[in-house]
C-alpha cells in the first residue's frame, strides 16, 4: 500500500500552501496560472486523489446518489431496471457522482431506508423509479428537502418536481396506428387494471388512436394484473367470441407473451404487440414498444446534477421522451 497522499503532501511537493492546492481543485480561476500548473503537475506525479470522506465532512456533500434495487419480480420486465441502472451509473460517473444501491421491498420500507441512508451517508440525491399516484416517497423526500428526480411522472401534478418519463400513450398509439395501417379494424387492448398512472396512460394511447381513426373500442378493452397466465386468460376471452379482435395491444411483454399463447392455441390469426422490448420479445419475435432507457438515465442524471450543482433552486423540469415501436413477426 503506497503512502497516503494528502493535500499537504502535494503542497510540500509543489512548494505552496495547502490552501492553494485546495483552491486549484475547487476554484482554479483564483490561482495564478503558473502556480496552478505547478500544483497540477504535482498532483499528477504523486497520484493524489481528494479524500471524499474529509471533503464530505466539510461540505456536507458526498457525491453519492441512491437508487433502489428491487426484487426481480416477473423476470421478464426485470431487465428494464438493469439497463436503466447501467445507464445511470455511467452518467453519474461522468458527472462526478457514484451510485449507491439500496434494497427495499415496499414503499414503507423504502421510506424507512431513506432516513437511515441520509443520516449515515448524507446522500446527495435520489433517483426514484416506478412512480404512481400519490407517491409517498416523493412527498417524504420533498418534505425533508432532499433533492431527487423520478423516472416516471408525478401523476397527480406534473409540476411537482423534476422527472423524466417515456410517453407510454405515444407507444401504444404507435402500435395501434401500425396495426390500423396493416388493415386491422378490431384492435383490442390487454392492460392493467385502471388506476395506475403508467397503465392508464398506455391504455389512453390505444383508445384515442382508435377513436381518431373512427374505430369503436367498445367491448375491446380488458383489465388484468400483469403476468403471462393472466394475459393468456384475458386474450382467450377476447378471442373466444363471435366477432373476435384481429389484433391485441398489450401493456407489457408478459401480457403479450400470454396473449400470444392464446392466439396460437386457439388457432386465431391475431396480431400481438407488447411493451418494453425485453429480451423475451427479441427471442420470440414479439413486436414491442421500446423505451430509450439509456437516454432516460442520462436525462435523470442531468436533472439531478442541475438540482445539486445549481447555485439556486431550479424549477421542476419535466422531460418526456418518445418510445419506438420495434416491428417483429407478431404483427
Partner DNA sequence: TTGTATGCGTTATCAG
Partner DNA sequence: CTGATAACGCATACAA
Q: Which does 214 bind (CB under 5 to 8 A by kind): DNA, a second copy, none?
A: none
By CB under 8 A, name the binding residues for a second copy.
1, 47-54, 56-57, 62, 64, 69-72, 74-76, 78-79, 81-83, 85-86, 89-90, 93, 98-103, 115-116, 119-122, 144-145, 228, 257, 278-280, 282-284
Binding of residue 311 to DNA (CB under 7 A): no
As a whole number of angstroms, the distance between CA 288 and CA 250 comes to 9
Angle made by CA atoms 158, 163, 166, in degrees to the nearest 5: 90
What residues contact residue 318 under an 8 Å CB cut-off, 6+ apart?
153, 158, 159, 162, 163, 165
As a whole number of angstroms, the distance between CA 52 and CA 64 comes to 10
Binding of residue 79 to DNA (CB under 7 A): no
Residue 163 · residue 186 · CB < 8 Å? no
Q: Which does 82 bind (CB under 5 to 8 A by kind): a second copy, DNA, none?
A: a second copy
Per CB under 7 A, the list member of 25, 204, 284, 294 interacting with DNA is: 25
Q: How far is the CB of 241 from a second copy (least distance, A)?
A: 26
Q: H/E element holding 225?
A: none
As a whole number of angstroms, the distance between CA 67 and CA 83 comes to 13
As a whole number of angstroms, the distance between CA 60 and CA 147 comes to 14
As a whole number of angstroms, the distance between CA 293 and CA 88 comes to 9
Window of 28-36, 72-80, 281-289, 304-312 that interacts with DNA by CB under 7 A: 28-36
Residue carrying the nine cell digits 387492448 = 189
Q: Which does 22 bind (CB under 5 to 8 A by kind): DNA, a second copy, none?
A: DNA
Q: How far is the CB of 309 from DNA (least distance, A)?
A: 13
Q: Which does 103 bind (CB under 5 to 8 A by kind): DNA, a second copy, none?
A: a second copy
Closest among 276, 284, 268, 264 to 329, alpha carbons compared: 284
Q: How far is the CB of 90 from DNA (least distance, A)?
A: 24
Q: How far is the CB of 50 from a second copy (least distance, A)?
A: 7
> Looking only at residues 46 through 75 of this chain, which bind DNA when binding is defined by CB under 7 A?
48-51, 54-55, 57-59
As a whole number of angstroms, the distance between CA 92 and CA 94 comes to 5
Residue 126 · residue 102 · CB < 8 Å? no
Residue 133 · residue 155 · CB < 8 Å? yes
Q: How far is the CB of 221 from DNA (least distance, A)?
A: 56
Closest among 221, 160, 232, 162 to 193, alpha carbons compared: 221
Q: How far is the CB of 103 from a second copy (least distance, A)?
A: 5
Q: Which is nearer to DNA, 29 or 267 (CB)?
A: 29
Q: Which does 211 bind (CB under 5 to 8 A by kind): DNA, a second copy, none?
A: none
Per CB under 7 A, the list member of 30, 108, 322, 327 interacting with DNA is: 30
Residue 305, helix vs strand vs coil: helix
Half-sphere exposure of 154 (CA within 13 A, CB side): 21
Q: Phi first, then psi: what are they for 304, rounded to 5°? A: -65, -40
Q: Which is nearer to a second copy, 278 or 287 (CB)?
A: 278
Binding of residue 213 to DNA (CB under 7 A): no
Q: How far is the CB of 96 from a second copy (least distance, A)?
A: 10
Q: Which does 208 bind (CB under 5 to 8 A by kind): a second copy, DNA, none?
A: none
Q: Using CB under 7 A as the criterion, which residues of the chain lie in contact with DNA when the complex forms?
A: 4, 6-8, 16-20, 22-23, 25-26, 30-33, 35, 48-51, 54-55, 57-59
Amino acid at each position: 500500500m503506497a503512502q497516503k497522499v494528502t493535500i499537504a503532501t502535494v503542497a510540500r511537493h509543489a512548494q505552496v500552501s495547502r490552501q492553494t492546492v485546495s483552491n486549484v481543485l475547487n476554484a482554479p480561476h483564483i490561482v495564478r496560472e503558473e502556480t496552478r500548473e505547478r500544483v497540477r503537475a504535482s498532483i499528477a506525479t504523486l497520484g493524489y486523489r481528494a479524500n471524499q470522506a474529509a471533503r464530505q465532512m466539510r461540505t456536507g456533500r458526498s457525491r453519492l446518489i441512491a437508487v433502489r434495487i428491487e426484487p426481480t419480480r416477473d423476470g421478464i420486465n426485470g431487465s428494464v431496471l438493469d439497463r436503466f441502472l447501467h445507464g445511470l451509473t455511467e452518467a453519474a460517473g461522468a458527472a462526478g457522482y457514484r451510485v449507491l444501491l439500496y434494497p427495499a421491498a415496499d414503499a414503507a420500507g423504502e421510506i424507512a431506508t431513506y432516513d437511515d441512508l441520509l443520516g449515515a451517508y448524507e446522500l446527495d440525491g435520489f433517483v426514484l423509479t416506478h412512480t404512481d399516484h400519490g407517491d409517498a416517497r416523493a412527498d417524504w423526500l420533498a418534505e425533508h428537502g432532499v433533492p431527487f428526480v423520478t423516472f416516471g411522472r408525478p401523476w397527480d401534478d406534473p409540476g411537482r418536481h423534476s422527472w423524466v418519463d417515456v410517453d407510454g400513450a405515444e407507444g401504444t398509439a404507435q402500435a395501434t396506428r401500425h396495426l390500423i395501417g396493416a388493415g386491422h379494424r378490431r384492435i383490442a387492448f390487454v392492460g392493467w387494471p385502471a388506476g395506475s398512472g403508467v397503465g392508464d396512460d398506455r391504455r389512453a394511447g390505444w383508445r384515442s388512436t382508435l377513436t381518431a381513426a373512427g374505430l369503436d373500442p367498445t367491448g375491446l378493452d380488458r383489465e388484468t394484473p400483469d403476468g403471462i397466465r393472466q394475459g393468456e386468460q384475458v386474450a382467450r376471452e377476447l378471442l373466444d367470441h363471435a366477432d373476435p379482435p384481429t389484433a391485441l395491444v398489450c401493456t407489457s411483454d408478459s401480457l403479450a407473451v400470454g396473449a400470444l399463447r392464446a392466439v396460437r392455441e386457439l388457432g386465431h390469426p391475431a396480431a400481438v404487440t407488447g411493451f418494453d422490448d425485453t429480451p423475451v420479445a427479441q427471442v420470440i419475435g414479439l413486436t414491442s414498444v421500446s423505451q430509450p432507457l439509456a437516454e432516460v438515465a442520462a436525462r435523470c442524471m442531468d436533472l439531478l446534477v442541475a438540482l445539486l450543482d445549481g447555485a439556486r433552486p431550479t424549477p421542476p423540469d419535466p422531460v418526456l421522451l418518445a418510445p419506438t415501436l420495434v416491428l417483429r413477426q407478431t404483427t
